[in-house]
Amino acid sequence: MYRWISLDNWTYSRTFKTPFDVRKWQKVNLVFEGVDTVAQILINNITVGRTDNMFNRYSFDITSVIKEVNFVEVRFLSAISYAAEQSRFHKAYSIPPACPPPVQKGECHANFIRKEQCSFSWDWGPSFPTQGIWKDVRIEAYNHYHLIYFTLTPFFVKSAQQWSLEIESVFDVVNCKPVSGLVTVSIPKLQTQQTYSVKLQPGEGSIVLLVNINKSATVETWWPNGHGKQTGYNMTTIFIMEAGYKIEKFSKAYFRTVELVQEPISGSPGLSFYFRINGRPIFIKGSNWIPADSFQDRVTYDTLWLLLKSAADANMNALRVWGGGVYEQDEFYEICDELGIMIWQDFMFACALYPTDQNYLESVRAEVTHQIRRLKSHPSIILWSGNNENEAAIASNWFSIPYADRDVYIRDYVMLYVKNIREIVLAEDKSRPFIASSPTNGLESVKEGWLSQNPYDTHYGDTHFYDYSNDCWDWTLYPKTRFASEYGFQSWPSFGTLEKVSSAEDWSYTSNFSLHRQHHENGNDEMIQQIERHFKLPQSTDPIKKFKDMIYLTQVMQAQCIKTETEFYRFSQSEIIKGEGHTMGALYWQLNDIWQAPSWASLEYGGKWKLLHYFAQNFFAPLLPVAYEDGGVLYIYGVSDLHTDRQLTLRVTVHTWSSLEPVCTLVKDNVTMKAQSAVPIYKEPISDLLRRCRNCTRKSCVVTFSLAGEGGLHSPTNHHFLSSLKDAVGLEKTQLSASISQQDSIYIFDLQTTAIAPFVSLDVGSIKGRFNENGFLMTKKRKLVVFYPWEPTTVEELEKSLSLTSLMDVV
């Protein structure tokens, strides 16, 4: 119904008074931090400039046209018609894909416009190709000189065993002669102060200062979440130039190093692929970030804080800012700096081939230069990556390009990502690694001319892996890769989230609404097929209960699938089996949602945690026991991100489904858990285990296990199912009840059950907040669960909104 908006051309205009005497200033600029996307800018009916790139910063000289009272206009062209026109102009050869698949209900030729690619639709989001001024716009007036960019880059000089900071300042000098003066840099906490004499040449140029940190000061480094503090130091830089006025810059200096290690591994063909932060190998745990809204102006600091804090609270230490969205706003990276969330930063190219004509490349070069200068001072950013899946698109021939035509597209690929983007990255930022694509084979791709034959090769680089047709509980399906940067399963968001954008006739799994919001081909059926492998489908005659039960089961299925896959990646970190392994990263697809719809996300639109996000808190825990079966034998691995070896106790408990009393408990003391590794700590044939535990059968029993050590150190309690739950014997319908009390600013839910309850879910509807755990296997009569509200609420409101569900409530 709203499609017409994106097909029209829109003009934004206003009259404004200049709040200063224009005659007193040598230069006046109109600066746009972001224009979305194709526009002509006029002041007093004179065109002062044009824009064609959403990701660029535009500064137009309006010195000669500005008056006391002015009329400013931004005349936009429809992004859809512009993209179509650019595609028509490109006559020599086509650049696929022309259009998204019909199920996405999207627009065509997104690859011909430098705009958020998913705004033309994606397999998890709507098509809302916006037109407007999406970032700040201002007027700047100055004499003599003006500071445009100011960046800090830390380096650790090994030979001198000393930290240094490289400070780069980009100026616009309006004087016709050079401007000289003094720059003083001080970092009081590090007893560091240095003064430099500098000379700025006319025009736009940069000066680079190297600050050596006082050797007698102790520098605290910036660490990822779970590995240490995120210390930053207040720094003041003062420019005092002969032309008079001074510029004072307050910033935060962070110290950390990053290396992407790609080296031979003994016993395995290929190369490693892992990150070393401050010299320490770090297992990357996290997810993929997509734009938080179709309308970027709705994304406030609070929106970002809630989503990013939820990532950190789930024990994540990294997110990949995916290449089909936007380079995020400054506040996003500031929050990541503060929370210790490492960022794998894609450049904004995704799932497509792209043109390389001169105008296009010039626009991209300006975009990349601007974004690196804007972002490179953030310690959270650890990698620049050229694009999402475009190496794979050519290698696997997604677009059915005849073999004879391949060379043209390969040449374009190298031209864009290597000869342009990579060149700029190397010139602008020497402190971070760069890869050309994801997935890629890293150095092996480079060796093969930047396009490897199989970017999904488990022996090199990173992989993306999706499999919806096989059983997700079967760990043998998953690639024993060096780094899993994308993998996932869909689920539906909770009823409370959907209710806000739907009406009663929509509340069924097969309604037009449910089909319309599913943008992934066959997605709703795939979820049912995956659920059916292990659970009984809902049969309720009450249509709303049936819909809610389906939603619940999709979330249970998604959580259990991604748990299985992530645990596989974590326990593969220290071993090589048949030449594969040393997995050092797990970023599932995806963290957040752009609207209320079925998707791969673990956080719903609005920030509510799906069951997957609660599971992530456990499967990404710093200390975790993980079980899997191989050849009829149960193996338990201990996985640790801790920096020191620990002596721990493993407790393995077996319950029958029909009783809250365990049938047997095995305690193994003096389990040595090696620092930052995954080691086998227990094995037992399933037949022995069943015999040992009073004639359990696979269908009648369930295994739970946990690790504990000194000083209150303990892992989450993990579970291993011995059969599908649809085949479980002895599971009874339970009476779940909860009494709620308030304690300071949090709420305590005292939960009681009459029988073992799998996947116990607490839902308080639209009351914003999260529980300390959810979706758990309840094997004790009582459990205390904490609710952290994100807005004021009351015991009464919570009681009214609470619904308790466990697997046996689905009928």
**Residues marked as catalytic:** 389, 486
**Are the CB atoms for 291 and 116 separated by under 8 Å?**
yes
CA separation, residue 167 to residues 170, 210, 235, 592, 793 (Å): 10, 6, 11, 35, 48
Alpha helix segments (H runs only) across 251-389: 301-313, 330-339, 358-375
Give the closest residue to 767 by CA, choosing from 738, 803, 742.
803
CA 144 – CA 452 distance, rounded (Å): 51
Burial zone of 442 (CB within 10 Å; 0-12 exposed, 13-18 middle, 19+ buried): buried
- Peptide bond between residue 37 and the one before it cis (omega within 30 degrees of 0): yes
Burial zone of 538 (CB within 10 Å; 0-12 exposed, 13-18 middle, 19+ buried): buried
CA 363 – CA 360 distance, rounded (Å): 5
**Are the CB atoms for 295 and 127 separated by under 8 Å?**
no
**Are the CB atoms for 705 and 717 separated by under 8 Å?**
yes
Tell me whether strands 58-61 and 27-32 are parallel, antiparallel or unpaired: antiparallel
DSSP state of 94: -
The neighbour count for residue 710, using CB atoms within 10 Å, is: 9
Phi, psi torsion values for 666, nearest 5 degrees? -115, 130
E-strand spans in 686-799?
701-708, 718-721, 737-743, 746-752, 757-763, 769-771, 776-778, 782-789
In single-letter form, the type of residue at position 249 comes to K
CA 806 – CA 733 distance, rounded (Å): 9
**Are the CB atoms for 125 and 594 separated by under 8 Å?**
yes
**Are the CB atoms for 688 and 674 separated by under 8 Å?**
no
CA 477 – CA 561 distance, rounded (Å): 12
Phi, psi torsion values for 6, nearest 5 degrees? -80, -15
DSSP state of 550: H
CA separation, residue 499 to residues 192, 323, 607, 794 (Å): 57, 31, 15, 22
In the block, residue with structure tokens 């404004």: 16
**Are the CB atoms for 556 and 759 separated by under 8 Å?**
yes
**Are the CB atoms for 769 and 790 separated by under 8 Å?**
yes
CA 355 – CA 93 distance, rounded (Å): 10
Task: Report helix, strand or coil for 522.
Answer: coil
**Are the CB atoms for 31 and 59 separated by under 8 Å?**
yes
| Helical axes 301-313 vs 330-339, angle rounded to 10° | 30
In single-letter form, the type of residue at position 696 comes to C
Q: What angle do CA 413, 418, 424 make, to 5 degrees?
A: 135
Q: What angle do CA 167, 171, 175 make, to 5 degrees?
A: 140
In the block, residue with structure tokens 């994606």: 122
Give the closest residue to 616 by CA, choosing from 573, 559, 575, 565.
559
